[in-house]
């Protein structure tokens, strides 16, 4: 069976070698959008972008995906709702959300030539 998405996933390798070229804002937006399209349990993530020159492995930029419980608290307060779950289950949902987002972003970055 020939499918470009499946082929990309099957041919993916974890190589920590990045181009020195700074990606365009359009490429960055595409990668972030791909991450936002990941399946989420509760959207308990926040994304930070670091463009400093001294990132790990010589990468031109670094995305940091964080579990963001404060975001959930703000959403719940705005709706006048109370959280009826414990912090551990919410933390696990947040880790799951962040991991799914990261996976989508890595595949998008690789398909756009941000990694070699």
Domain that residue 45 falls in: 17-108
Q: Judge whether 27 lies within some domain.
A: yes
Number of structural domains the chain divides into: 1
Helix (H, G, I), strand (E, B) or coil at 14: coil
pLDDT at 28: 93
49 belongs to a structural domain: yes
- The pTM (predicted TM-score) of the whole model is 0.78
Q: Which two tokens stand for residue 15?
A: 């190589």
96 bridge partner residues:
none
CATH code of residue 92: 3.40.109.10
Neighbour tally for 84: CB within 10 Å: 6
The answer to whether the beta carbons of residues 28 and 114 sit under 8 Å apart is no
pLDDT (tens digit per residue) in 44-89: 889 999 888 787 777 788 899 999 888 888 888 899 987 766 778 8
In a domain, 115, yes or no: no
């Amino acid at each position: 069976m020939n499918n470009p998405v499946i082929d990309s996933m099957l041919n993916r390798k974890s190589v920590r070698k990045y181009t020195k070229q700074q990606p365009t804002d359009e490429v960055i937006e595409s990668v972030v959008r791909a991450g936002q399209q990941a399946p989420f349990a509760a959207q308990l993530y926040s994304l930070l972008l670091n463009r400093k020159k001294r990132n790990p492995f010589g990468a031109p930029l670094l995305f940091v995906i964080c579990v963001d419980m404060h975001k959930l608290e703000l959403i719940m307060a705005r709706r006048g709702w109370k959280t009826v779950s414990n912090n551990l289950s919410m933390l696990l949902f947040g880790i799951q959300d962040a991991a799914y987002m990261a996976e989508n972003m890595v595949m998008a970055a690789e398909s756009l030539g941000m990694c070699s």
